[in-house]
Amino acid sequence: MDLQLSGRVAVVTGASKGIGLAVARTLAEEGAHVVAVSRRRTDALPGEVVHVAADLMDPQEHARVVGRAVAEFGGLDILVNNAGGPPPGVTLPRVGFMAPDDEDWRAMFEFNLFSVVRMIRAAVPVMLERGGGSIVNLSSTMARQPGAMNVDYAAAKAAVSHVSKAVAEEYGPRGVRVNTLTPGAVLTDWWTRPGGAAEVMGAMVGATKEDVVTKVAPEMLRMVTGRLVDPQEIADAVALLASPRSGSTTGAELVIDGGQLKEL
């Protein structure tokens, strides 16, 4: 299937690893001009991808990123708000409502919500100049399943889902589509890095990191596939949502979670 992405200009945040890296690679393979945003460049990015080093917790950086896309390629057609998760220096999972203090909440919302809001705010006027565009915001199944674990992160992602629908409603008539992609647990370094979620969870339940990734986490999360999601599976869905082939899809939520969410 031709996704009709050739020559389109895309900005992907959090693009140095995991989902973001897979998205940047996939859009580039489909012929898009990709601006990859992260604190540091990785050699894993394709050579034709333009990297912009930026800290998206800095309110001044979002307009600079979009400006770079315009300077390099003349405009912006696609925005993928993937950056998120634990703010720098924070380790998740974190259990209990009382665990995060005010500063933890501020940092979590700054990274996972306000950076998304600011990127959209910078991107929409540029997209409107070109007659429209596509925004894909990454949320989380935690936004749909409130609980004691990572409550601040889940609340921020729930807000992302709300913002996505609000912006889709306002700008859909002017050609800007906005959709949310909601992953479940994805096999990224969020889980596998030293001191990451797999080790933290393993210490809680008395399991090795490897057992957490391959067995404990999928079982605890009730993933009917029995495994964590592959980042490429998320990237493929992002590419479809970004494509004109999804021209009637806006204000929607696509869940890719290995069957975790069971609610109607």
Active site residues: 153
Rounded-to-integer distance, Cα 168 and Cα 182, Å: 16
Count how many Cα atoms sit within 13 Å of the Cα of residue 122 in the half-sphere of its side chain: 25
C-alpha pair distances (Å), 134 with each of 123, 224, 250 = 10, 31, 9
CA dihedral 27, 75, 45, 108 (to 10 degrees): -90
Give the position of tokens 């299937």: 1
Q: Contact 140/96 with Cβ under 8 angstroms? A: no
DSSP 133: E
- 3-class state of residue 51 by DSSP: strand
Alpha carbons 25 and 65: distance in angstroms, whole number: 18
| Whether the Cβ atoms of residue 72 and residue 118 lie closer than 8 Å to each other | no
Quickly count: other Cβ atoms within 10 Å of residue 199's Cβ.
18
What are the tokens at 148? 């004691």
